[in-house]
Amino acid sequence: MRQDQFEKLKKAAEENGYINIGISEDGTPVNSGMIPWERTASAFNMKTPNVTLAASDLSDKVVLEALEKCTILGCYIFAPLKDYSFISGLKDLRDLFILHAENMKDLAFLRGLSDLFMFYLQDAVLLDLEPLAEAFSAGEQIPGKCLGLCSCRIKDVSALTKAEIRFSELLIWASEEDSEERWKTALRPGTFRFRGK
């Protein structure tokens, strides 16, 4: 972890402060990124990371202990990770943005994240969305949930279509074998986009 980023994290931990974290391959600070959401209100809920970790920092006990003392509202992952289980400890998380998720095995790390209302995921291969449906259903219905899935291959999406989740935005950038029909939810999204290949 870069020294300036560690100092920011250390200060936030000492104050039990609020932070938004970014994770890059080598810890290079991330000051901007793509905003997938169409609605202005949704876009304004995204934050810029004020502390950036290197992917390798997720196995550093000192860094993890400091993170536990902070309230983390946004987590923006810009590098492929081998393990996403650390996310389950970010209990106050509201916005989760993950690029390069080709190593992801499932979404079990979302269970218990009842404040989560924005989730963008790219390149994952998953069996189902059950943990996501649980997290989105457990929280308040306002604000509406924002879900963006880009080039993800998901075998079973029925957990979302059966759950009573109020979506503000449901945006799908489909993999080749996907179809628009299977994304129809019980509660109609405020904004729904399906972009096939």
Q: Three-state DSSP class for 124? A: coil
- Domain 3-195 is in which class? alpha beta
Please return the burial class of 193, using the count of CB atoms within 10 Å of its CB with bins 0-12, 13-18 and 19+.
Answer: middle
Structure tokens at 41: 């209100």
pTM exceeds 0.75 = yes
Q: Which pLDDT tens digit goes with each residue over 92-141?
A: 999 999 999 999 999 999 999 999 999 999 999 999 999 999 999 997 77
Task: Locate the domains of the chain by residue range.
Answer: 3-195
Q: Which pLDDT tens digit goes with each residue over 148-186?
A: 999 999 999 999 888 889 999 999 998 777 888 888 876
Beta-strand ranges (E) seen in 38-141 are 51-54, 71-77, 95-98, 118-122, 125-128
